Amino acid sequence: GGLKVLRKSSKDKALVISAGITVHEALKAYDILKKEKINIRVVDLYSVQPTDAKGLLKNAKECKNNVIVAEDHYFDGIGSVVMKAIGKIKHLYVKKIPRSGKPEKLMKKYSIDYNAIIRTVKSTIKSPQKAL
């Protein structure tokens, strides 16, 4: 398994883990939040087997255990892998059978786009997770 930290600072308030197309949404969210002086860490979880549990835990703790997973799959994708490794997360995923359409419209419809990530980051840092 593998993960790559794409954006990082010593002031990160939340960890956003994504894979595939949602990585680009996480990076857009990062750019917008940075302008608002909200630092987040962005991780691309490009491979889950075997899970890099130590890497996930280390990044989660450095981000005050405020963990958001954004993925373009149904429940039980990378979110489940991350939950098993670190515990409580906020999980953005496709909750219904998706329709066909342009990626941007579908990501917005299913709340896995950069705006959904931004909203979730802001609500998460307002009500932080309990320590793991």
In this structure, what CATH number is given to the domain that contains residue 14? Answer: 3.40.50.920
Q: How far apart are CA 121 and CA 10, in angstroms?
A: 17
102 domain-assigned: yes
CB 83 within 8 A of CB 53: no
Question: Is residue 131 scored above 70 in pLDDT?
Answer: no
**By C-alpha distance, which of 17, 76, 15 is closest to 46?**
17
128 domain-assigned: no
Total structural domains in the chain? Answer: 1
pLDDT in tens, 76-109: 789 999 999 999 999 999 888 778 889 899 999 9
3-state SS of the chain: helix, strand, coil percent to 5?
A: 40, 20, 40
112 domain-assigned: yes
Residue 99 sits in which domain range? Answer: 2-122
92 domain-assigned: yes
Question: Is residue 38 scored above 80 in pLDDT?
Answer: yes
pLDDT at 75: 67
